[in-house]
C-alpha cells in the first residue's frame, strides 16, 4: 500500500494528513514538538512521530520507510528545516513536494512596513517609542529583544507550550509580557490585545490565511498603529512548490490514487438586500463573515463596508472579469459575489451562474435577498404579487405600453433625471388620452436614513431634483378597460394621401398573425403605419419594425408612432428585402411588396424558418402569383380568406351601404425546413 511522509507542523500539514488518511493512503506524519502532537486529531495518521531531526536523521527515516514521496508542509518561514528536508530527499532519491501556503494580497497602506527578517524588524523599531505586540513566534524572540535593547517594550503572543514559555523567559519576557494562546484569531480579539497592552506597533509575519495575517492587519489598522511585516520568503517564489489542489494532482500521478479536492472552492452568489447591510438575511451575513474574497460593484462594497473592510474586496461584477481575477489569484476558497437586492429580480446572477457552471473548479451556491419591490410593498402596506415589474435601470422599458395594459406597475429607476423624463412622458400620455388617471408613489433611498416615500402627480415627478436610488409604483385604474383585441378606429390615425389598411381588414389580419405580447414583427410596406401601431400596442414586450420606402408614407408612419407614444416601434426607410432588420423576427405582415414578393418571402423563410406571415393582396395578379409560389415554399398552415366589407354612409335620412375593395388575406407559417 502507498505510504507518504509528511512533515506536518502547520495547519495545512494537519489538514492534508487527515485528508490522505481518509482516502486510504498510509501517512507517516512528523511534527517537531509535543504541542504539535496535541494539535493532531487522533488517528489522523497511520504513524505519528515527534521531535526535531537533523538532515541525516531525516535521510535515515526516508531510507527505512519505503515512501513514494515526501511532502514538506512546514511553516513558510522554516527555511532551514525545508532545506534539510530537501537535502535528505536529494540524498535518498525520494521525490520532494513542497506544499505552499495560500497567500493573501499585500495590503496597500502607509501604516504597513515590510522587512525581510527579524533583525531588520528590530533595527527598524530600535529608535522608536511605545509598546510592541510581537506575534512572530518564540524562536527568534531572544534575537529580537537583544537588538531592540529594551524587552520592557515587548509583549509576545506565543503558543501555549513549555518550549515557547522557556524561550520567552530566556528573552527576558515574563508575567504580563507573555500571552500564551493558540491562534489564529479574529480581528476583534487581535484588536482587544493591542488595546490591552497599549501597543504602538504590531510585529507579525506574512503568514497567509491560515496564519490569520489579514485579521492582524485589520486590527492594527483599526487601532491606528503601524504594522511591521516580515515578508514570506516564499512569496511569489513557487519553485518546486504546489498549492493544495495542485499537490493532490501531483500525488495522484505518483500514487495512482484518485486524489482531488471535491470542488473545495465555493462561489456564493448572494443578494445583499435593498439599502444598507441591516436588510440582509442571516444566511448572507454568515456567508460574508466566512468569505475569503468578496466581489461586487463599488456602491455595493461601500454599503457593506462594516462587513468587508477586513476582507479582500474587489470592485468587479462582470463574469469574465471575475473569472480572470480568480485565475490570477487561485488561492481563494470561499468567494462571495454580492449583488444588490434579490438575485432573481433584475440581477446579474443569471450571467454569473452561466459563466461559473462552465468552470469545473467551483461549487456554486446562491442566496436570495430582499428585493426593492418587496421592501417597498411592505412599507406601503400593500401586496406586490399583482404588480407588473419593470426596470429602467440601465435598460429600455416600454413604459406607456405597459401602463396602458396593466393597472399596477413597479419601476426601478436609475436617477432623478430618468424620473423627470418619465414624468414628462406621463404628462403627455394623460393629456393625449392614452392614459387615464394615475396614482404615483415613489420611494427614495429605501432603507437608508434619508428614506422618503411620497405620493405625487406626474407633473410633480418632472420637478424632482434630489439624486439617488428611486423605486416607483404607478397605478392606472383605466388599464382594466383596455381592449385586448385589435380595436382601433381608422379615425384615430393621422391621415394623408398615403394608403392605409382599413380597420376591418386590419383586425382580421392581426388576428391571423396570432401575435403574442413578446412577438417581434416586421411590417413591410407599412404605409401610414396602422398595422404597425396596433401591433406595437399588442406586443408590449416585443418590437415592431415598419419598413417603408416612400418618404411621405414613412414620415406619416413616424407621426402616428409618436402620437401613440410607442417605445417599441421603429420606422425603417428602405425597400424590402434589402431593408429587413437583423432582429430575430417571429412575425411578418406584408401590405405592399413593391414587386419583390417572392424575394421577400424567400429571405424571411431562409432567415426565420418558423416565422408567421400574413399578406394582404388586392389585385388578382398578386393572388395568382402567390398561389403559384406557395407550393415551392417551406410553409404550412396556409389560410386564404377573401374579405368584402361594406360600410354604411349617410344619405339624407337613409344609410347607404358602400362596398370597399375586396382584399385577400393570406396567412401561413414557416415549416422549419430549408428553402430548396
Give the pLDDT confidence of 259-317 residue by residue, as tens digits.
765 556 789 999 999 987 788 999 999 899 888 899 999 989 988 877 777 778 899 99
C-alpha cell at 530: 396602422
Can you tell me the distance from the alpha carbon of 24 to that of 41, in angstroms, rounded to the nearest whole number? 16
Question: Does a structural domain hold residue 106?
Answer: no
pLDDT band at 330 (very low <50, low <70, confident <90, very high): confident
Residue 642 sits in a domain of what CATH number?
Answer: 3.40.50.150
Residues 152 and 226 in one domain: yes
Instruction: Write down the H helix ranges in 590-656.
Output: 597-607, 620-629
| Listed residue (237, 207, 8, 247) closest to 101, CA to CA | 207
Domain final residue pick, 369, 394, 410: 369
Give the SS3 label for residue 14: helix
Can you tell me the distance from the alpha carbon of 438 to that of 416, in angstroms, rounded to the nearest whole number? 20
Domain final residue pick, 348, 369, 390: 369
How would you label 183-207 residue by residue, b for 16+ Cβ within 10 Å and e otherwise? bbbebeebbebbeebebbbbbbbbb
Is the separation of the CB atoms in 271 and 339 below 8 Å?
Answer: yes
- Residue 342 pLDDT exceeds 80: yes
pLDDT band at 2 (very low <50, low <70, confident <90, very high): confident
Residues 388 and 435 in one domain: yes
Residues 597 and 662 in one domain: yes
pLDDT band at 1 (very low <50, low <70, confident <90, very high): low
Residues 411 and 470 in one domain: yes
CB atoms within 10 A of CB 100: 24
DSSP line for 461-526: HTT----S-EEEEEEEGGGGG--SS----GGGS--SSS----HHHHHHHHHHHT--TT-EEEEET-
What is the average pLDDT score of the chain?
Answer: 90
- Residue 239 pLDDT exceeds 60: no
Looking at the chain, the whole-number percentage of residues with pLDDT higher than 70 is: 97
Residues 318 and 387 in one domain: no
Residues 420 and 539 in one domain: no
Residues 510 and 618 in one domain: yes
Is the separation of the CB atoms in 590 and 524 below 8 Å?
Answer: yes
The count of structural domains within the chain is 5
Residues 578 and 448 in one domain: no
Residue appearing with cell numbers 535521510: 59
Question: Does a structural domain hold residue 10?
Answer: yes
Domain that holds residue 174: 112-230
- The alpha-carbon radius of gyration of the chain (Å, integer) is 37
587-590 and 612-617: which strand pairing? parallel
Domain final residue pick, 462, 481, 500: 481
Rounded to the nearest 5 percent, the helix, strand and coil shares of the chain are 35, 25, 40
Residues 465 and 531 in one domain: no
Looking at the chain, the whole-number percentage of residues with pLDDT higher than 90 is: 65
Can you tell me the distance from the alpha carbon of 166 to that of 516, in angstroms, rounded to the nearest whole number? 83
| Listed residue (331, 288, 328) closest to 309, CA to CA | 288
Residue 14 sits in a domain of what CATH number?
Answer: 3.40.50.720
Residue bearing the bigger pLDDT, 163 or 244: 163
Question: Does a structural domain hold residue 640?
Answer: yes
Residue 290 sits in a domain of what CATH number?
Answer: 3.40.1010.10
| Listed residue (339, 312, 308) closest to 328, CA to CA | 312
pLDDT at position 36 is 77
Residues 448 and 544 in one domain: no
Can you tell me the distance from the alpha carbon of 585 to that of 579, in angstroms, rounded to the nearest whole number? 13
Residues 613 and 509 in one domain: yes
Integer distance in angstroms from the first to the last C-alpha of the chain? 67
C-alpha cell at 591: 401590405
Residue range 181-200, pLDDT digits in tens = 987 788 888 999 999 999 99
Question: Does a structural domain hold residue 431?
Answer: yes
Question: Does a structural domain hold residue 235?
Answer: no
Question: Does a structural domain hold residue 434?
Answer: yes
Residues 471 and 419 in one domain: yes
Question: Does a structural domain hold residue 447?
Answer: yes
Question: Does a structural domain hold residue 661?
Answer: yes
Non-local (6+) Cβ contacts of 549 within 8 A are 573, 574, 575, 579, 594
Give the SS3 label for residue 531: helix
Is the separation of the CB atoms in 523 and 531 below 8 Å?
Answer: yes
- Please state the φ and ψ torsions of residue 573, each to the nearest 5 degrees: -85, 95
pLDDT at position 263 is 52
Amino acid at each position: 500500500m502507498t505510504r507518504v511522509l509528511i512533515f506536518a507542523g502547520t495547519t495545512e500539514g494537519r489538514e492534508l494528513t487527515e485528508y490522505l488518511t481518509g482516502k486510504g493512503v498510509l501517512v507517516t506524519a512528523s511534527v517537531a514538538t509535543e504541542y504539535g502532537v496535541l494539535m493532531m486529531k487522533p488517528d489522523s495518521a497511520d504513524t505519528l512521530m515527534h521531535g526535531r531531526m537533523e538532515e541525516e536523521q531525516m535521510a535515515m527515516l526516508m531510507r527505512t520507510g519505503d515512501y513514494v514521496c515526501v511532502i514538506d508542509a512546514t511553516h513558510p518561514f522554516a527555511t532551514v528545516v525545508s532545506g534539510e528536508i530537501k537535502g535528505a530527499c536529494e540524498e535518498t532519491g525520494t521525490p520532494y513536494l513542497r506544499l505552499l501556503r495560500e497567500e493573501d494580497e499585500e495590503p496597500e497602506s502607509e501604516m504597513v512596513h515590510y522587512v525581510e527578517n527579524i533583525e531588520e524588524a528590530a533595527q527598524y523599531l530600535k529608535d522608536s517609542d511605545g509598546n510592541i505586540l510581537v506575534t512572530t513566534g518564540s524562536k527568534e524572540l531572544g534575537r529580537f529583544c537583544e537588538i531592540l535593547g529594551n524587552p520592557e517594550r515587548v509583549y509576545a503572543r506565543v503558543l501555549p507550550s513549555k518550549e515557547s514559555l522557556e524561550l520567552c523567559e530566556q528573552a527576558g519576557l515574563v508575567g504580563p509580557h507573555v500571552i500564551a494562546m493558540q491562534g489564529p484569531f479574529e480581528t476583534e480579539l487581535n484588536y482587544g490585545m493591542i488595546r490591552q497592552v497599549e501597543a504602538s506597533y504590531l510585529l507579525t509575519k506574512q503568514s497567509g490565511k491560515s496564519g490569520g495575517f489579514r485579521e492582524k492587519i485589520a486590527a492594527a489598522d483599526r487601532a491606528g498603529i503601524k504594522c511591521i511585516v516580515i515578508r514570506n520568503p516564499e512569496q511569489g517564489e513557487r519553485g518546486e512548490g504546489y498549492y493544495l489542489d495542485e499537490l493532490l494532482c501531483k500525488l495522484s500521478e505518483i500514487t495512482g490514487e484518485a486524489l482531488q479536492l471535491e470542488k473545495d472552492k465555493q462561489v456564493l452568489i448572494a443578494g445583499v438586500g435593498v439599502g444598507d447591510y441591516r436588510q440582509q438575511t442571516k444566511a448572507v451575513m454568515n456567508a460574508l463573515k466566512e468569505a475569503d474574497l468578496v466581489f461586487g460593484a463599488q456602491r455595493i462594497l461601500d454599503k457593506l463596508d462594516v462587513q468587508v473592510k477586513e476582507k479582500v474586496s474587489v470592485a468587479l461584477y462582470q463574469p469574465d472579469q471575475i473569472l480572470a481575477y480568480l485565475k490570477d489569484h487561485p488561492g481563494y476558497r470561499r468567494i462571495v459575489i454580492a449583488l444588490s437586492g434579490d438575485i432573481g429580480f433584475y440581477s446579474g446572477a443569471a450571467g454569473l451562474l452561466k459563466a461559473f457552471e462552465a468552470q469545473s473548479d467551483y461549487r456554486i451556491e446562491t442566496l436570495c435577498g430582499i428585493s426593492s419591490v418587496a421592501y417597498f410593498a411592505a412599507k406601503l402596506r400593500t401586496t406586490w404579487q399583482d404588480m407588473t415589474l419593470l426596470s429602467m435601470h440601465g435598460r429600455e422599458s416600454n413604459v406607456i405600453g405597459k401602463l396602458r395594459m396593466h393597472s399596477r406597475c413597479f419601476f426601478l429607476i436609475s436617477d432623478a433625471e430618468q424620473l423627470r423624463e418619465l414624468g414628462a412622458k406621463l404628462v403627455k400620455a394623460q393629456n393625449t388620452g392614452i392614459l387615464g388617471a394615475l396614482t404615483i408613489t415613489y420611494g427614495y433611498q429605501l432603507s437608508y436614513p434619508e428614506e422618503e416615500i411620497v405620493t405625487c402627480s406626474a407633473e410633480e415627478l418632472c420637478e424632482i431634483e434630489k439624486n439617488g436610488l428611486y423605486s416607483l409604483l404607478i397605478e392606472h385604474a383605466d388599464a382594466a378597460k383596455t381592449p385586448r383585441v385589435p380595436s382601433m378606429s381608422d379615425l384615430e390615425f393621422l391621415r394623408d394621401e398615403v394608403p392605409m389598411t382599413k380597420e376591418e381588414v386590419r383586425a382580421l389580419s392581426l388576428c391571423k398573425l396570432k401575435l403574442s405580447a413578446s412577438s417581434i414583427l416586421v411590417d413591410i410596406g407599412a404605409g401610414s403605419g396602422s398595422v404597425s401601431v396596433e401591433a406595437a400596442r399588442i406586443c408590449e414586450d416585443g418590437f415592431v419594425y415598419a419598413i417603408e420606402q416612400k418618404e411621405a408614407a414613412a414620415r406619416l408612419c413616424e407621426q402616428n408612432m409618436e402620437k401613440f407614444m410607442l417605445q417599441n416601434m421603429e420606422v425603417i426607410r428602405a425597400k424590402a428585402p434589402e431593408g429587413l432588420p437583423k432582429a430575430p423576427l417571429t412575425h411578418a405582415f406584408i401590405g405592399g411588396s413593391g414587386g419583390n414578393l417572392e424575394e421577400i418571402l424567400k429571405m424571411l423563410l431562409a432567415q426565420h424558418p418558423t416565422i408567421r406571415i400574413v399578406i394582404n393582396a388586392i389585385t388578382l395578379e398578386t393572388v395568382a402569383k402567390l398561389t403559384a409560389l406557395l407550393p415551392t415554399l417551406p410553409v404550412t398552415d396556409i389560410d386564404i380568406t377573401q374579405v368584402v366589407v361594406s360600410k354604411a354612409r349617410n344619405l339624407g335620412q337613409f344609410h347607404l351601404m358602400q362596398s370597399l375593395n375586396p382584399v385577400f388575406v393570406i396567412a401561413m407559417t414557416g415549416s422549419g425546413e430549408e428553402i430548396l
